Amino acid sequence: MFTRTLAPPRTSFFLFGPRGTGKSTWVRTHFRDALVVNLLAAENAIRYDRDPALFRAQVMARPRAGWVVVDEVQRVPRLLDEVHYLMEEEGYRHFALTGSSARKLRRGSANLLAGRAILRTLFPLTTAEMGYSVPLGRLLRYGSMPLSVRAGSDAAREDYLRTFVTTYLAEEVRAEGLVRDLGSFSRFLAIAALAAAQTTNVSAVARDASVSRETVRGYFDILVDTLIGDWLPAYRPRAKVKEVAQPKFYWFDPGVLHAAAGGFDQPLPADWEGVLLEHFVLHEIRAFLAYSSARGSLGYWATPSGGEVDFVWWRGTESVAIEVKSSRRFRREFRSGIRSFSDSMKGKVRSYVVYRGDEELEVDGTRVLPLEAFVRRLHRGEILG
């Protein structure tokens, strides 16, 4: 078992995270005496969907100070009406509502809880949570989902990740009736995986998947709503030069991305290691920002002329530029995007190059860090915030 960084809230909350990140384990660890309603079990979902008042009766048989856990609440959104009633009319204030898809909740009763339940996210394991004990090369290829990390062999990890992608198609997408043509969505999924971490060209993805642009936009919405990935926006405030405005799409875990792209069965493009590395670094950054008290915004920076910085964090006039390279040897041209970004900014800019080498360097004001040194400093709060 790994000790997760996320601290349990003291009041009602939604806990979102992709399937397999450990939400159920986390809530059962922190709320051992809670009433648990597990909607992942089909028979339970059917039972409460037919008779949501049963949930109210079960809760009201318990003390008001106790916790109530509803696991995979998106499977029976009607229960949120009951939660709302119990909060407003009966004085119950301690609900832990987990979900691996926000799609039905955003379109259903979740709005009734606006302001009454805070939002938390559980990510796959971070290097800090693993005690920096897992080789980083393995994490780049197989990701940091708990079952992948704990698997006894690389073959077992590959089987798990292939199955995860298949299960996602079968259970999350088909069961919720999110798409009419699962074959087209499956083609899109593989193409979207290969296009990850790039400025998204919806028309090109639509052409390759043999579907319309609007269908592709809807498919990306499904990936976001089911927490498989999210957009990284372009950074635009106060720069002096014209910049790229389109977002990039990143998957939530490099191992799942690798499986969806077919990387365990076919050779992938030569720059694929760099794509996985970017996903890994972004996962660590996003998890740190979510679990810590750090605030600010995260994006990327690019210009039509080719200047680019992989990740930019900013808060007020303070900015941090992070360039990620899969090379084992540092080269000064790695700083070209950072230099252009710094020249365009008036405020303070701190900059880092993260690479696969072993030496820590200071080059023209930019700190060059090996990957492990970077993630250690990140989780100690020395990079952001």
Mind listing the pLDDT tens digit of every residue in the chain (385 residues)?
A: 799 999 999 999 999 999 999 999 999 999 999 999 999 899 999 999 999 999 999 999 999 999 999 999 989 989 998 999 999 999 999 999 999 887 777 665 555 576 688 999 999 999 999 999 999 999 999 999 999 999 999 999 999 999 999 988 777 777 666 677 888 889 999 999 999 999 889 999 999 999 999 999 999 998 998 899 999 999 876 545 566 678 999 999 999 999 999 999 999 999 999 999 999 999 999 999 999 978 899 999 998 888 899 999 999 888 999 999 999 999 999 999 999 999 888 768 999 999 999 999 999 999 999 999 999 999 999 999 7
Q: Do 167 and 266 belong to one domain?
A: yes
Total of domains in the chain: 3
CA 149 to chain centre: 17
Q: Do 108 and 143 belong to one domain?
A: no
> Residues 100, 107: contact at Cβ < 8 Å?
no
Residue 245 lies in a domain: no
Residue 8 lies in a domain: no
Residue 276 lies in a domain: no
Q: Do 140 and 266 belong to one domain?
A: yes
Backbone angles phi, psi at 378, to 5 degrees: -60, -50
Q: Which residue has the tokens 């970077």?
A: 374
Q: Do 199 and 288 belong to one domain?
A: no
Residue 303 lies in a domain: yes
Q: Do 266 and 142 belong to one domain?
A: yes
Residue 384 lies in a domain: no
Residue 275 lies in a domain: no
Q: Do 104 and 183 belong to one domain?
A: no
Dist CA 257 CA 193 (whole Å): 6
Specify the CATH number for the domain of residue 57: 3.40.50.300
Residue 72 lies in a domain: yes
- Specify the pLDDT at position 237: 66
**pLDDT tens profile 61-81:** 999 999 999 999 989 989 998
- Specify the pLDDT at position 18: 93
DSSP class of 133: -
- Specify the pLDDT at position 148: 97
Q: Do 265 and 143 belong to one domain?
A: yes
- Specify the pLDDT at position 244: 64
Q: Do 259 and 191 belong to one domain?
A: yes
Residue 97 lies in a domain: yes
Q: What are the distances in angstroms from CA 88 to CA 93, 235, 294? A: 9, 41, 32
Dist CA 378 CA 375 (whole Å): 5
* Residue-number span of the structural domain to which 258 is assigned: 136-230+251-270
Alpha-helical runs (H) found in 31-93: 42-50, 53-60, 79-90
pTM here is: 0.93
